[in-house]
Amino acid sequence: MTKNNKLKGIICILLAAVGFSLMTFFVRISGDLPTMQKAFFRNFVAMFVAIAALLKANVGIKVERPSIPPLFARCFFGTSGLIANFYAIDRLGIADANMLNKLSPFFAIILSIFILKEYPKRVDIAATIIAFIGALFIIRPTGLITETVPALIGLFGGFGAGTAYVCVRKLGQQGVKTPVIVFYFSFFSCVVTLPFLITDFAPMSPSQLLCLLMAGVSASLGQFSITTAYKYAPAKEISVFDYTQVVFAAILGIIFLGEIPSILSIAGYAIIIGVAVFRWYMNLKTE
């Protein structure tokens, strides 16, 4: 791998971080709309972006039978994780919600044991334990339902995302193309959220509709940028830059929403990002 390709990979993953942080921002400023309604429009846009990618690459959507179970798991856990993340975004600071979602790689370490039969190194086990200790600083289990429950749901969002990522890797090993996975995930999410949209639809202003459409565009930017990033460089060398999403989200929250993260939250960010950087460094060192 050339230095030029590594630089391209870093730029793409930073672009993905911007895309995903903008998605959370647009979801937040879309206002007091049902979570399922927000999730539907986010995935509705992403589905058409995926269809365009399929047409451009001239790729069919047929999936072989052995790939159906991991594809369904990717869709199910990805959708439930997305809904949980959107719920948390509306009730926590967007930086806190982003950080809880970024626990997904640590969930993936655990889940890889059962799904991929990949057993983690001791450093990965230690990193996972420390990361979840950091999460406690963000969740702050005070006993107040209004504060703790949204944070726990946000944590479940990270679990859903981590499970989905492991399933994506499994599908990649089976030769399923990225646009196919994105299409089925987006289609599944739309089907799941559509009944809630119909029964609990809240009228939207043009600005709210625009925000949700922009959330979909931003999410698509993030999804395809991160896929492109890992084509240029291996995950072990550039994945740590994905944590800049929390920084971008915090900046958006401070400037536009007046959300100042608490000292405990900042301590949690430092622990989780710090252990992620350490794990990244150790992975490079052992190669």
What pLDDT, on a 0 to 100 scale, did the predictor assign at position 142? 60
Average pLDDT over every residue of 27-39: 94
Q: Which of 235-239, 261-265, 276-280 has the lowest mean pLDDT?
A: 235-239
Measure the CA–CA gap between 185 and 19, rounded to whole angstroms.
18
Please state, in angstroms and as integers, the Cα–Cα distance from residue 67 to each residue in 73, 161, 188, following that order.
Answer: 10, 19, 16
Structurally, how many domains does the chain consist of? 1
Measure the CA–CA gap between 60 and 36, rounded to whole angstroms.
29
Q: Is 2 exposed, middle or buried (0-12, 13-18, 19+ CB in 10 A)?
A: exposed
pLDDT digits (tens, 9 = 90+) for 186-245: 999 999 999 999 999 999 999 999 999 999 999 989 888 887 887 787 766 777 788 899
Average pLDDT over every residue of 255-263: 91
What pLDDT, on a 0 to 100 scale, did the predictor assign at position 145? 63
Chain-wide mean pLDDT for the chain?
A: 89
Query: φ and ψ at 58, to 5 degrees?
Result: 55, 50
Nearest partner of 94 among 33, 47, 30, judged by Cα: 30
Supply the pTM of this predicted model.
0.89
Q: Which of 29-43, 76-90, 107-121, 122-136 has the lowest mean pLDDT?
A: 107-121
Kindly indicate the confidence band of residue 146, based on its pLDDT and cuts at 50, 70 and 90.
Answer: low
The token duo for 194 is: 């559509």
Nearest partner of 158 among 219, 213, 238, 81, judged by Cα: 81
Average pLDDT over every residue of 9-18: 90
Please state, in angstroms and as integers, the Cα–Cα distance from residue 133 to each residue in 130, 139, 204, following that order.
Answer: 5, 10, 40
The beta-strand segments (E) located in the chain are none
Average pLDDT over every residue of 253-273: 92
Measure the CA–CA gap between 28 and 185, rounded to whole angstroms.
22
Q: Tell me which residue range forms the domain holding 230.
A: 3-286
Measure the CA–CA gap between 45 and 48, rounded to whole angstroms.
5
